[in-house]
Amino acid sequence: MSTENKKPIGRPKAETTASKLLQIRVEPEQHEAYKKAAEANGESLSAWAKSILDKASAK
């Protein structure tokens, strides 16, 4: 059996990776509202929050 044609296992490595973690505390109602907004946008909660924060910080 040849190992020459084997595909790597797992997700491909990103060119750049996020290295900082941002944690915030929110009320359960806020979390649910944020989650619903992200889903309505077709995004993960993390991606949605990053896009909102990026827009707000560009002002």
pLDDT tens digit sequence for 13-47: 778 888 899 999 999 999 999 999 999 999 999 99
Pull the structure tokens for residue 39. 């889903």
**Where is pLDDT greater, at 49 or 10?**
49
Torsion (CA) 28, 30, 35, 36 in degrees, nearest 10: 110
Pull the structure tokens for residue 35. 């989650």
What is the reported pTM?
0.69
**Where is pLDDT greater, at 30 or 8?**
30
1 has a pLDDT exceeding 60: no
Instruction: Give me the residue label for tokens 């909660």.
Output: 45
Predicted local confidence at residue 2, as pLDDT = 58
26-30 long-range contacts (CB < 8 A, ≥24 apart) are: none
Instruction: With residue 31 as reference, give the H or E element that holds it.
Output: helix 28-40
